[in-house]
Amino acid sequence: MKLTGDWQIHGHDRRGRPLTIDGQIPGEIYPQLHRAFVLSDSPLRGDDFATGALDWVHKQDWTYEKTFTVDRGGQDGGEEGVEGARILDSRKVLLVFHGLDTLAAISLNGHPVGKADNAFRPWTFDIRPLLREGENTLRVVLYSVTAGPAVASVSSSPQSWIRKPLASFGVPHFPAFPGCGITGDVELIPLVDTVWMSDLAVRVCKNGDQSRFAAIKSDWLVEVTMDLIANEPRSDLAVFVSLNIPGSASPPHIEMCNVNTGFENVTISVPLVVAKDSVETWDYADGIGDQRLYELTVAVMDQSRGIALQRQKRNIGFRNITVKTHPSKEILTCTFFIEENLIFLKGAAVSPIELFPTTVTFDQLDYMTESCTAANLNAIYVPGTTGFLSDRFYDLCDQRGLLVLQECAFDDRVQYAQNLNMKSVEEEIRYQIRRLMHHPSVIAWIANVEDQRILSAIEKSAKLLDPSRPLLRCSSSPKSQETLALLGDGIPSLPATDILKQAIDFTDLSPLSEVMKARSLVVPMEAALQNVKSALPSEVRTCIHDLGNDHGPKSSEEITSSISYLTQCLQALELKSEIEQRRRSHKCTGFVYRSLNDPWQAPYPGSLEYGGRWKLSHHVISNLLRPVLVSCQADTVDEMEIFLSSALLDALGVHVLVRIYSLRDSKLKWTKQFDSVPIQPMSTILLFRGGVTGTNKNPDDLSLKEHVIDMEARDSGSGRLLSSNWHVVGENRLPSSIFNKRPSLDIKVTGVSQYTSAVWDSTGRERSRVDLVITTDSVVPFFNLDNSRYRGWYDLGCTVLIPGQTYHVSFYPWPGENGGLKASAVGASEVQASRKAGGRDRLLQLLASKKRSDSSAGRDTRLPEASQQWSIVSAHDFVASTVQVQTLAGSYAVLLQAVNDKTASSTGFNRFKAPTYRAPNTQESSKKYIWTTNVEDEDAGGSSSRRGPQDSPH
């Protein structure tokens, strides 16, 4: 019997008056109060979390109450009557809480049932003696973890002894919401003629791995372990384990084990032998192989009656990944192998997807994991501050081939208290390892804790339950044997203004408003602005602090939007430099960067904004994490080095082209070609070192200052684009010349199409995309396309556009948002938007005259809502309403205009001359049907064609 759904929640409001609201379980107290309109705004909005306005929520106890009926219902009582009869006839009735956050006292019909003190494990109680026929009242009192008698007698900080998510205490850079809630399902399980199978664990190991069944010799061994709870001693039970292999001529693999139970829990282990040639292996992302999963069924059978009392299923994979470590067991010294081939680990540390875990949706997890594979990541690091995620997350990682490095939910920044309940901690670790060990994506357990009691408990459980996976240590101190790089927190960047407006009022959008300062928990906002200031030309640099204080709603949004783009540019530059350095290192076998995602609408170092939109840094990562990378290091303006790196498992011949363009006049100054360069698997070679001289009829040395180095690598055999990269050289991180000229861009939509690709969507669903072609008349550094109307991503972003190149860009809308695009006649044919590109300016204003003419002609120019099926979209409407172009020159113009406006208002004249904005003419060719076609890459010389990541060798 499920007891989730409607509950009543009792407490007191902010004035101390009694309060009762209707709540939904699972759920934390803060979202419950918001849904009941007790909190007028989301707890994540504004700066209430920092001012103490919400402290009344976590400084009191809350009581969750559920009244349910257990009734036989007579002969015609239906399913509810049958279930009620089974409950009342049982000697044992188990009350199971799959999540309690955190300090709880449970009672039934006024009688105490038990207590709980750990949010990372389930709690089970036998309530049959207290259960009565008819109405029953279940009450859960959740005690405050920051005030009251439950914590008053403890001198240690709550996070040092209360086992709840560290993020709820604000560790390390989150707003603190140390509330409470029933965070998992609640159910009644009667034991009449059945048993309850709990903590089902499946471990797949290769022949020779450590196993309690060491005498069994096979290619693969599947160990199934479970706890059985019965209401009486039974000798007629058996456990059947079967593995279904679709397409196989042989019958399913089946193993049986007879079971004798008593009144106490019984732990059963069943081995299943699987021949190597009967299954395919599960392989990780990067196009190495398929993520093949097999359904394993475990059933408890009543042999006397020949019926199944309970069944559970798990999807398992047979993986050949091994981990080799230094004797120190430090994660930074480990290397990963698939069979005998070294894996270059490309990972990111995931932050909490939501600060209230029960509000996380499957769509969010699906979008985030697909964004990882689309950006060529092959691993996700789950730190202790994020804790253990839901089963759906690990299922998605299994499906997409993402390797998971799982930390236990501890952090070495916390000094754990002596009164920590170690028995509950041991049960927590045991439960989580058994819950996750069947996932082939989980390749290592990690202990990031210095407390020897906790460390010993983790080591004991990992060695006993899952000896085939390594237990690694995570230490912040560098090691001389370091091979895996754990990159730093990075520079926090502002999300787009439409994301900020979800939680911040118009009047508080200014970067230095009190609300924005309160939300800058990683780095103070003043320091972030100083970072932007140091990269800007002098005309704006002296005024950036004043601009950040501007409180005009319209100007604040524009200024914040430009500053947001600049912070993302700087974040992308730092991450680009670190990743390139690691990939050039001969010793480095991978890296993990922090952080993958923003957990809320605030400045944060994630590469995905809150909600999943790609920041500029995620586009950079997508490009740099292709298996082949050509990169440049130019520490001075007189000398450079060109490197070629490969993470492929096979040798390859590569054609490399390097060109240098001036940022001042966009002219080609130097070019060099490397033909059929052989590169070995998992290696890096130095292609060029020296000054740039004596080429292109230029006998003098060429200073690299105020130039951009454009690089591309192609397969020598097929000509396929393997890598395209760029490097900007100047006195500052953002050379001043790139701010001065606003380029003219041609953006043309060539079609809307359907596609199915394992690269972008390993689930094989049919997806849609919009294809665009972009050309430019000048060099455009840090060019980016954004889209705030529809969720999805462009496959080309944060790049340098070169004149004479044709860039084929695709936008991939997310089907969870609007059902995807459908291939159709493009209503406006080809729309060419020649424009002076600006920061986050919508092309809508450029095409306003065209839309007015359409309206006057009686055409329907309305655009589909996000919730509707996006079935027919004209090229005109797509460009006009969704394409947002971001360039440094555009952002600079916005800031410079703001400086002019301030100066004019105070002195009566403009101090600086901002670049003018010229709206181009919009041309429309004759109507025709336009469909997406695959455009072949042309030769590198002269005019050429480039595409996004779909050209990468997957």
Q: Give dist(CA 439, CA 316) in Å, integer.
A: 6
Check pLDDT > 90 for residue 12. yes
Pair of tokens at residue 769: 């995309």
pLDDT over 70, % of the chain: 77
495-510: per-residue pLDDT in tens?
999 899 999 988 888 8
| 882 — pLDDT class (breaks 50, 70, 90) | low
Check pLDDT > 80 for residue 947. no
Phi-psi region of 42 (alpha: psi -120 to 50; beta: other; left: phi over 0): beta
Check pLDDT > 70 for residue 877. no
239-259: per-residue pLDDT in tens?
899 998 887 666 677 888 888
pLDDT value for 858 = 34
**Geometric angle at alpha carbon 557, from 513 and 770, rounded to 5°:** 135
Q: How far is CA 129 from CA 69, 314, 610, 862, in A?
A: 16, 34, 48, 64
Pair of tokens at residue 471: 């237990």
| 80 — pLDDT class (breaks 50, 70, 90) | low
- Considering 79-83, 383-387, 862-866, 940-944, the range whose residues carry the highest mean pLDDT is 383-387
Q: CB within 8 A of 29, min separation 6: which ones?
A: 9, 57, 62, 142, 179, 180, 181
| 63 — pLDDT class (breaks 50, 70, 90) | very high
Give me the mean pLDDT over the 156-167 stretch. 90
- Considering 478-492, 711-725, 807-821, the range whose residues carry the highest mean pLDDT is 711-725
| 822 — pLDDT class (breaks 50, 70, 90) | very low
| 262 — pLDDT class (breaks 50, 70, 90) | low
Give me the mean pLDDT over the 263-288 stretch. 80
Q: Give dist(CA 292, CA 289) in Å, integer.
A: 9
| 868 — pLDDT class (breaks 50, 70, 90) | very low
| 761 — pLDDT class (breaks 50, 70, 90) | very low
Check pLDDT > 60 for residue 265. yes
Give me the mean pLDDT over the 412-424 stretch. 89
More confident residue, 411 or 927: 411
pLDDT value for 431 = 95
* Residue 488: other Cβ atoms inside 10 A: 12
444-455: per-residue pLDDT in tens?
999 988 889 999
Check pLDDT > 90 for residue 263. no
Q: Based on the number of CB atoms within 10 Å of its own CB, is 200 exposed (0-12), middle (13-18) or buried (19 or more)? A: middle
In angstroms, how far is CA 710 from the centroid of its own chain?
A: 30
Helix axes 362-374, 391-400, angle to 10 degrees: 30
Q: Are 646 and 679 in contact, with CB atoms under 8 Å apart? A: yes
Beta bridge partner(s), residue 470: none
Give me the mean pLDDT over the 358-368 stretch. 93
Pair of tokens at residue 663: 């940022």
Q: Give dist(CA 915, CA 895) in Å, integer.
A: 11
Check pLDDT > 80 for residue 917. no
Pair of tokens at residue 586: 């001969």
Beta bridge partner(s), residue 672: 658
What's 554-590 look like in SS3? HHHHHHHHHHHHHHHHHHHHHHHHHHHHHHHCCCCCE
Cis peptide before 953 (omega within 30 of 0): no
Q: CB within 8 A of 755, min separation 6: which ones?
A: 766, 767, 768, 769
Check pLDDT > 90 for residue 120. yes
* Residue 472: other Cβ atoms inside 10 A: 23
Beta bridge partner(s), residue 324: 335
Q: Give dist(CA 11, CA 20) in Å, integer.
A: 6
Give me the mean pLDDT over the 300-316 stretch. 88
Check pLDDT > 60 for residue 819. no
Cis peptide before 383 (omega within 30 of 0): no
Q: CB within 8 A of 856, min separation 6: which ones?
A: none
pLDDT value for 402 = 93
**Span of 281-295, 593-607, 703-717, 805-819 with lowest mean pLDDT:** 805-819
Give me the mean pLDDT over the 835-853 stretch. 33
453-487: per-residue pLDDT in tens?
999 999 999 999 998 888 988 765 544 456 677 77
Q: In sequence order, which ranges of 862-921 are alpha helices (DSSP H)?
A: 875-882, 888-907
More confident residue, 482 or 596: 596
**Span of 358-372, 390-404, 737-751 with lowest mean pLDDT:** 737-751
Q: CB within 8 A of 160, min separation 6: which ones?
A: 414, 415, 416, 417, 420
Q: Give dist(CA 90, CA 126) in Å, integer.
A: 11
Domains and CATH numbers, the chain: 5-190 (2.60.120.260), 195-317 (2.60.40.10), 325-485 (3.20.20.80), 626-730 (2.60.40.10)
CA-derived radius of gyration, the chain = 30
For 377-389, give the DSSP string: --EEEE-TTT---
Give me the mean pLDDT over the 170-191 stretch. 91
| 385 — pLDDT class (breaks 50, 70, 90) | very high
Check pLDDT > 50 for residue 760. no
Q: How far is CA 802 from CA 562, 641, 710, 798, in A?
A: 23, 21, 8, 13
Q: Give dist(CA 471, CA 463) in Å, integer.
A: 8
Look over the chain and give the mean of its residue pLDDT values, rounded to a whole number: 79
Check pLDDT > 60 for residue 356. yes
Give me the mean pLDDT over the 362-390 stretch. 93
Beta bridge partner(s), residue 302: 237, 307
Q: CB within 8 A of 673, min separation 6: which ones?
A: 655, 656, 657, 658, 940
Q: How far is CA 686 from CA 498, 586, 595, 708, in A?
A: 44, 11, 30, 20
pLDDT value for 721 = 93
Check pLDDT > 60 for residue 129. yes
Pair of tokens at residue 692: 């740039």
- Considering 189-198, 334-343, 676-685, the range whose residues carry the highest mean pLDDT is 676-685
Q: How far is CA 356 from CA 29, 59, 75, 352, 377, in A?
A: 9, 18, 45, 9, 26
Check pLDDT > 50 for residue 827. no
Give me the mean pLDDT over the 757-761 stretch. 43
Check pLDDT > 50 for residue 206. yes
Check pLDDT > 60 for residue 905. no
210-249: per-residue pLDDT in tens?
555 555 556 888 999 998 887 777 788 888 999 988 876 6
| 540 — pLDDT class (breaks 50, 70, 90) | confident
Whole-model pTM above 0.85?
yes
pLDDT value for 264 = 66
pLDDT value for 397 = 94
For 483-508, give the DSSP string: -EEE------B---HHHHTTTS-GGG
Q: Which residue has the tokens 């002969």?
A: 75
More confident residue, 847 or 510: 510
